[in-house]
Chains A and B, each alone.
Chain A
């Protein structure tokens, strides 16, 4: 039974099994003519005003036949085409009867649809006089960048290499970590126009086949024009899009992705997107970071606890402030209350207005900092820090304590390693503030209860989101709030329902040597 299927279903309302997957401008797949001239006429009709389409007529020296090489200029690697295809075809006197082409990957095709797709995706197609088949050669070479260190998920000890926009390279990066026969990639083409390649990477003997089926099903059912980015795919396939919580991890680190794959999870790679989707993700997995495993376990544990504390503080501290300043004075020790009163006395606004104003300002400063180019970005810091922080207090608009609360909240939310979780925290924080302004500390706890209730009902790819806390799985606790020493993590976490649970043997050194 899928919980929340009532809501879950709606998000995928536009699903339809794509019958003709090439959609709107689909042609019935016509075979090639044997005559080169009529083939080229047809090609001209298919690509009428395509400036970057190159058609190179040539005579193959080995066989003496006329031929035409079709490719799109910008999408192909010119050196490959010139030295690997055109030169050998013109120069070589092939003896074996085979065409002398020096390209590794060649496929024969028999229809126009395949040709269209191949050409548009950067392959070159060779049409030969007198033949009703064409040869597709993988010559893709579009503008791409080298793997650089990840921008958003920086790491102290991890690899300084992030995913790039080409799926082949991303696949290669994952394979570099896991040269294992069991590492499988399942490929899909998503998007009627975009025709984006999407691959699910997983370890076949570890990952759970039911979850794989669920994931395949959800991706396979997508009927959409175009997917630009991984985030779009995440929103289309996650279980409950109405939840504030992210239910799939988006990472730009190959090492993080591989570490999750090794635990029995699935990584979804999307071509043209430098991030990878990982599922099923549980609540705690948003608090884990690849660095946790390369620092000493005691310090990693401390940092984990810090993160959970920070999560709690950043969702509830402003709400708690509102609750104690407008409802439940009795909870605060009298000395602290007097201090708060001294500063609050001159403030003309209710605590909720005060807090909402400051939190909104903080959100604006943060958002401004993200989008602004870095030379201007520094101004934001100055404006935020001095003008809003100091001047607003001196003007008597906001109390000093509120500024402290906001700063504390901000710092706490910066500790969280996952951006999507930080976004969730912001939304939850405002809802809790509203609840606390209506019902004080009771409202805050009511909000937390609803949050807990929502969290335990939430599923990710059909597995519980709140594992290993509810359902309780004590064996998984070793890698949650604490990060146990690596030799204790002998089993893969059960949250991803791996079919093979044993992860490692006894690696602890024994004896006194």
Chain B
């Protein structure tokens, strides 16, 4: 039974969804987090964090290999019982909803702070839900196309940042590892937040056209995420002096103040707006996955109804309350804790359970 036929995504779409979700969260904030964690060796932390994530992601792929035609929920239902699947559906739906909400609140706050100071935040947020609905109602396949396109449309970003190249001082990066490895190791978990989103692999896997390329795909996705982060981190480390690095918020945006183009005055304003394509990757796919989980729970094949409920709920809620910047960072901290649990720890436990299950099952009924 192929439940998800005609809704396939290509390997490239798979890669871009995973890395798109991650990058949208981290690209603006990560240099500062790394610097606070491990000083100018923060970029080494990044590589280690990325390798850990890659391993965690491969664990998910390994677990999903048992269920080529179903999502993680089908897998749980098959191996641990129907109700475990249902419970997981609710939990994951809540997780992805929170993930999406955190992302959309953060984007709203950045937009409000930088370009739309006068417009009430709830209005911005509700407006952002419209493209989310237009894209997410099409299902995973349309999300895949959107990921491809939004990454493609954002290829200009490195070029803009290349303009600040002449203001960089690469000596700031030296000495490497001034305090030894300890701060580096300690800082690794703080990067996990910015790699979150690879848990979507567990839902994308059955839609993937070439399943044998899944492992390669997740490695590529993590490499893309890593290279985007390394690029912006190294550039900000070389651009800002050590004193500035801790004092300025949102380094990536601030850096663009140095860019002078003949036809645009404030490049960073335009950047924020165009960066929406990447930003949106932090909420559109999670909203869709949340709706997907919920409709799986309700045994409905069509996720559009649940998507409408979720988005309408978000809109109504936001009309009354939109978290401020500080709250959104706190929400991020919570998301980090949940994310480490859901995306790093849970897959390992799941794979362990599956191996055990197979071992017990294999002894009982050799085949």
Pick the interface stretch among B20-28, B75-83, B214-222, B261-269.
B261-269
Evaluate contact between A439 and B119: CB separation under 8 angstroms. Answer: yes
Residues from chain A with a CB closer than 8 A to the CB of B153 are: 452
**Minimum Cβ distance to chain A for residue B15 (Å):** 11
Most chain A beta carbons < 10 A, residue from B13, B127, B148, B152: B127
Decide if A328 is an interface residue (CB 8 Å cutoff). yes
Evaluate contact between B135 and A456: CB separation under 8 angstroms. Answer: yes
Evaluate contact between A446 and B130: CB separation under 8 angstroms. Answer: yes
Residues from chain B with a CB closer than 8 A to the CB of A441 are: 115, 269-270, 273
Evaluate contact between A3 and B139: CB separation under 8 angstroms. Answer: yes
**Minimum Cβ distance to chain B for residue A480 (Å):** 13
How far does the alpha carbon of A4 sit from the alpha carbon of B304 in the complex, in Å? 11
Evaluate contact between B131 and A464: CB separation under 8 angstroms. Answer: no
How far does the alpha carbon of A446 sit from the alpha carbon of B270 in the complex, in Å? 13
Decide if B144 is an interface residue (CB 8 Å cutoff). yes
Decide if A172 is an interface residue (CB 8 Å cutoff). no
- Which chain A residues numbered 439 to 473 have a C-beta less than 8 Å away from chain B? 439-446, 449-450, 452-454, 456-457, 464, 466, 469-472
In the complex, residue of chain A having the shortest beta-carbon distance to the beta carbon of B266: A330
Residues from chain A with a CB closer than 8 A to the CB of B134 are: 450, 453-454, 457
**Minimum Cβ distance to chain B for residue A333 (Å):** 5
Evaluate contact between A442 and B273: CB separation under 8 angstroms. Answer: yes
Residues from chain B with a CB closer than 8 A to the CB of A3 are: 138-139, 142
Residues from chain B with a CB closer than 8 A to the CB of A472 are: 10, 12-13, 148, 152
How far does the alpha carbon of A464 sit from the alpha carbon of B145 in the complex, in Å? 10
In the complex, residue of chain A having the shortest beta-carbon distance to the beta carbon of B131: A449
Query: 1/0 contact trace for B126-151 toward A, CB 8 Å?
Result: 01101100110111001011101110
How far does the alpha carbon of A252 sit from the alpha carbon of B226 in the complex, in Å? 52
Evaluate contact between A456 and B116: CB separation under 8 angstroms. Answer: no
Evaluate contact between A450 and B265: CB separation under 8 angstroms. Answer: no
Query: 1/0 contact trace for A421-444 toward B, CB 8 Å?
Result: 000000000000000000111111
Evaluate contact between B131 and A453: CB separation under 8 angstroms. Answer: yes
How far does the alpha carbon of A3 sit from the alpha carbon of B144 in the complex, in Å? 14
Decide if B55 is an interface residue (CB 8 Å cutoff). no
Evaluate contact between B131 and A440: CB separation under 8 angstroms. Answer: no
Evaluate contact between A471 and B145: CB separation under 8 angstroms. Answer: yes
- Which chain A residues numbered 452 to 510 have a C-beta less than 8 Å away from chain B? 452-454, 456-457, 464, 466, 469-472
Decide if A1 is an interface residue (CB 8 Å cutoff). yes
**CB contact between A331 and one of B124, B265, B276, B277 (< 8 Å): that residue:** B265
Residues from chain A with a CB closer than 8 A to the CB of B12 are: 472
How far does the alpha carbon of A442 sit from the alpha carbon of B130 in the complex, in Å? 13
Residues from chain A with a CB closer than 8 A to the CB of B13 are: 471-472
**CB contact between B149 and one of A331, A334, A454, A456 (< 8 Å): that residue:** A456
**What range describes how many residues of A lie at the interface?**
20 to 34
How far does the alpha carbon of A466 sit from the alpha carbon of B131 in the complex, in Å? 17
Decide if B280 is an interface residue (CB 8 Å cutoff). yes
How far does the alpha carbon of A251 sit from the alpha carbon of B95 in the complex, in Å? 51
Decide if A309 is an interface residue (CB 8 Å cutoff). no
How far does the alpha carbon of A456 sit from the alpha carbon of B277 in the complex, in Å? 14
Decide if B56 is an interface residue (CB 8 Å cutoff). no
Decide if B327 is an interface residue (CB 8 Å cutoff). no
How far does the alpha carbon of A321 sit from the alpha carbon of B269 in the complex, in Å? 16
Evaluate contact between B264 and A333: CB separation under 8 angstroms. Answer: yes
How far does the alpha carbon of A337 sit from the alpha carbon of B266 in the complex, in Å? 13
- Which chain B residues numbered 234 to 251 have a C-beta less than 8 Å away from chain A? none
Query: 1/0 contact trace for A315-359 toward B, CB 8 Å?
Result: 000000000000110111110010000000000000000000000
How far does the alpha carbon of A370 sit from the alpha carbon of B113 in the complex, in Å? 48
**Minimum Cβ distance to chain B for residue A413 (Å):** 22
**What range describes how many residues of B lie at the interface?**
35 or more
In the complex, residue of chain B having the shortest beta-carbon distance to the beta carbon of A1: B6
Evaluate contact between A440 and B115: CB separation under 8 angstroms. Answer: yes
How far does the alpha carbon of A444 sit from the alpha carbon of B270 in the complex, in Å? 11
**Minimum Cβ distance to chain A for residue B250 (Å):** 17
- Which chain A residues numbered 69 to 111 have a C-beta less than 8 Å away from chain B? none
In the complex, residue of chain B having the shortest beta-carbon distance to the beta carbon of A472: B148
Evaluate contact between B262 and A333: CB separation under 8 angstroms. Answer: yes
In the complex, residue of chain B having the shortest beta-carbon distance to the beta carbon of A4: B138
In the complex, residue of chain A having the shortest beta-carbon distance to the beta carbon of B130: A450
How far does the alpha carbon of A201 sit from the alpha carbon of B91 in the complex, in Å? 53
Known contacts A442-B111, A471-B10, A472-B12; is-contact A453 B135 (Cβ 8 Å): yes
How far does the alpha carbon of A46 sit from the alpha carbon of B45 in the complex, in Å? 91
Evaluate contact between B148 and A470: CB separation under 8 angstroms. Answer: yes
In the complex, residue of chain A having the shortest beta-carbon distance to the beta carbon of B277: A449
Most chain B beta carbons < 10 A, residue from A441, A450, A452, A466: A452
**Minimum Cβ distance to chain B for residue A226 (Å):** 35
How far does the alpha carbon of A148 sit from the alpha carbon of B219 in the complex, in Å? 60
Residues from chain B with a CB closer than 8 A to the CB of A337 are: 265
**Minimum Cβ distance to chain A for residue B102 (Å):** 20
**Minimum Cβ distance to chain B for residue A180 (Å):** 32
Evaluate contact between B263 and A333: CB separation under 8 angstroms. Answer: yes
How far does the alpha carbon of A454 sit from the alpha carbon of B262 in the complex, in Å? 33
**Minimum Cβ distance to chain A for residue B231 (Å):** 22
**Minimum Cβ distance to chain B for residue A502 (Å):** 22
Decide if B7 is an interface residue (CB 8 Å cutoff). yes
Known contacts A439-B119, A442-B116; is-contact A452 B265 (Cβ 8 Å): no
Residues from chain B with a CB closer than 8 A to the CB of A456 are: 135, 138, 142, 145-146, 149
How far does the alpha carbon of A440 sit from the alpha carbon of B270 in the complex, in Å? 11
Residues from chain A with a CB closer than 8 A to the CB of B280 are: 449
**Minimum Cβ distance to chain A for residue B287 (Å):** 13
Evaluate contact between A469 and B152: CB separation under 8 angstroms. Answer: yes
Decide if B274 is an interface residue (CB 8 Å cutoff). yes
Residues from chain B with a CB closer than 8 A to the CB of A328 are: 115, 269
**Minimum Cβ distance to chain A for residue B191 (Å):** 29
**Minimum Cβ distance to chain A for residue B20 (Å):** 13
**Minimum Cβ distance to chain A for residue B366 (Å):** 41
How far does the alpha carbon of A95 sit from the alpha carbon of B185 in the complex, in Å? 108
Residues from chain B with a CB closer than 8 A to the CB of A471 are: 10, 13, 144-145, 148
Evaluate contact between B276 and A333: CB separation under 8 angstroms. Answer: no
Residues from chain B with a CB closer than 8 A to the CB of A442 are: 111, 115-116, 124, 127, 273, 276
How far does the alpha carbon of A443 sit from the alpha carbon of B264 in the complex, in Å? 18
- Which chain B residues numbered 166 to 224 have a C-beta less than 8 Å away from chain A? none
Residues from chain A with a CB closer than 8 A to the CB of B128 are: 446
**Minimum Cβ distance to chain A for residue B106 (Å):** 15
Residues from chain B with a CB closer than 8 A to the CB of A470 are: 145-146, 148-149, 152
**Minimum Cβ distance to chain A for residue B149 (Å):** 4
How far does the alpha carbon of A330 sit from the alpha carbon of B115 in the complex, in Å? 9
In the complex, residue of chain A having the shortest beta-carbon distance to the beta carbon of B143: A456
Residues from chain B with a CB closer than 8 A to the CB of A1 are: 6-7, 139
How far does the alpha carbon of A469 sit from the alpha carbon of B152 in the complex, in Å? 9
How far does the alpha carbon of A308 sit from the alpha carbon of B104 in the complex, in Å? 31
Known contacts A331-B269, A471-B13; is-contact A450 B262 (Cβ 8 Å): no
Residues from chain A with a CB closer than 8 A to the CB of B150 are: 452
How far does the alpha carbon of A442 sit from the alpha carbon of B276 in the complex, in Å? 9
Evaluate contact between B116 and A439: CB separation under 8 angstroms. Answer: yes
Residues from chain B with a CB closer than 8 A to the CB of A443 are: 127
Most chain B beta carbons < 10 A, residue from A440, A457, A469: A457
Residues from chain A with a CB closer than 8 A to the CB of B273 are: 441-442, 444-445
Evaluate contact between B149 and A452: CB separation under 8 angstroms. Answer: yes
Closest 8 CB pairs of A and B: A470-B145, A453-B134, A453-B135, A449-B131, A457-B138, A456-B145, A470-B149, A330-B266
Report 15 cross-chain contacts, Cβ distance below 8 Å, ordered by A residue. Answer: A331-B264, A331-B265, A333-B262, A441-B115, A441-B273, A443-B127, A446-B128, A446-B130, A452-B149, A453-B135, A453-B142, A454-B134, A457-B135, A457-B142, A464-B145
> Residues of A with Cβ closer than 8 Å to B?
1, 3-4, 6, 327-328, 330-334, 337, 439-446, 449-450, 452-454, 456-457, 464, 466, 469-472
Known: A450-B134, A469-B149, A472-B10. 7 other contacts (CB 8 A): A327-B116, A443-B127, A449-B280, A452-B153, A452-B277, A457-B137, A470-B152
